[in-house]
Amino acid sequence: MPDLRALDLNLLVVFQYLVEDRNLSAVARRMGVTQPAASNALRRLREAFNDPLFVRTPQGMLPTPYAQHLSGSVAEALSLLTHALEAPPGFDPAHSTRRFRVAMTDVGEIHFMPELMERCARDAPGVRVESVRLQGADLQRELDAGHVDLALGAFQELAGGLLQRMLFRQGYATLFRRGHPTAHEGMGLKAFRAERHLMVSHAAPYGQINQALEKAGVSLAAHFSVPHFAAVPYIVSATNLLATVPRKLAESAASRFGLGILAPPVRVPALQSNVYWHRRFHRDGGNQWLRNLIVDTFAER
């Protein structure tokens, strides 16, 4: 047997065609090469296997016993390779039962999950979307490994191997209880600093709002805090605390909890939310479908 590392595997295609056609001219036509090229390929096969392999007879190029011995395994190997190289089957959302894992923050879940669930229930009833809480190196590792399909939100710390598409930009808004004795739209920085504030202490990747508040003179240590955004509307609706949160969350919570909204008198950079995926799965049918669904549903035109 020849060393596979030294064997041009294209020669096995010539071998298989000779087994099937038993005519070198027919093999040349089938491969789209000249007769001399086909003859040269047969010569190289004979040298590689140290056997004539095919002998010219009135009945055509008949295989030697060694070629007959090889023929079944070569045919099976080429069949497996052909199947492996075929395009993967298309993703059919209407009949798929695939489960997708999507990384989001709690504020991302509030914004994305209700409509995402509704679209999946309508267009892909068997598909399930599981939200996971991961950030930083942990999220990067899970995306690299394929354990997380997508990330949705403002994950600026994600790095190599990932592709992304912007969905929208948003600023921040301050929530307050309707009937609050002093909070109102247009309030100045001095009055804003004098109020009691509710901070979100584990706000990454939204921590820039806390930095902006401290820079404006609001001492975080002197106020109240919760680790996540989900509790904010409940607390603000029952107290006189102010809470500065991403604008889309503020707009969503205001109507549901009877809250007022004001523009905070501090400068905060706009927040950009993206959909992220690993380049390994760029052409995966299911990943493409979910990305397109998310862009179609949430991207600002």
Query: How far apart are alpha carbons 101 and 168 in whole angstroms?
Result: 21
Residue 276 in this model has a pLDDT that exceeds 70: yes
Domain total for the chain? 3
Contacts of 154 by beta carbon, 8 Å cutoff, 6+ apart: 205, 206, 271, 272, 273, 274
Asked, for residue 241, whether it belongs to a domain, the answer is: yes
Instruction: Tell me which of 21, 50, 85 is where a domain ends.
Output: 85
DSSP conformational letter for 101: E
- Write out the two tokens for 11: 């020669």
Q: Based on the domain organization, do 109 and 63 belong to the same domain? A: no
- Could you say which DSSP state residue 231 is in? T
CATH number at residue 122: 3.40.190.10
In a domain, 93, yes or no: no
In a domain, 11, yes or no: yes
Asked if residue 75 is part of any domain, the answer here is yes
| Residues 74 and 41 occupy one common structural domain | yes
**Averaged pLDDT of the chain:** 91
The lowest-confidence range among 30-44, 124-138, 215-229, 276-290 is: 215-229
Shared domain for 51 and 111, answered yes or no, is no
Tell me: do 158 and 276 sit in the same domain.
yes
How does residue 286 score in pLDDT terms, banded at 50, 70 and 90?
A: very high
282 and 156 inside one domain: yes
Query: pLDDT tens across 75-91, in order?
Result: 999 988 887 777 677 89
Quick one: pLDDT at residue 7? 80
**Is residue 94 over pLDDT 70?**
yes
Domain assignment present for 91: no
Predicted confidence (pLDDT) at residue 180 exceeds the cutoff of 80: yes
Question: Are 145 and 279 contained in the same domain?
Answer: yes
What lies within 8 Å, CB to CB, of 292 at 6+ separation is none
Helix 106-123 to helix 247-257 angle (10° resolution) is 80
Say whether both 79 and 214 belong to one domain: no
Domain co-membership, 80 together with 110:
no
Structural domain contains residue 31: yes
Provide the pLDDT for residue 202: 66
Residue 131, in any domain of the structure: yes
188-193 average pLDDT score: 94
Question: Of 54, 267, 275, whose CA–CA distance to 163 is shortest?
Answer: 275
pLDDT at position 2: 66
Per residue in 127-162, pLDDT tens? 999 999 988 889 999 999 899 999 999 887 787 789
- Are residue 197 and residue 265 in the same domain, yes or no? yes
Give yes or no: residues 165 and 279 share one domain: yes
Domain stops at, among 57, 85, 113: 85
**What percent of the chain has a predicted confidence (pLDDT) above 90?**
71
Kindly state whether residues 278 and 155 are assigned to the same domain.
Answer: yes
Q: The CATH number of the domain where 60 resides is what?
A: 1.10.10.10
Indicate if 293 and 159 belong to the same structural domain. yes
Cα separation of 171 and 245, whole Å?
9
**Domain end (from 44, 61, 85):** 85
pTM here is 0.72
pLDDT of residue 137: 86
Task: For residue 28, give its domain range.
Answer: 4-85
- C-alpha 219: how far from its chain's center? 39
Task: Examine residue 94 and state whether it is found in any structural domain, yes or no.
Answer: no
> Is 206 a residue whose pLDDT tops 80?
no
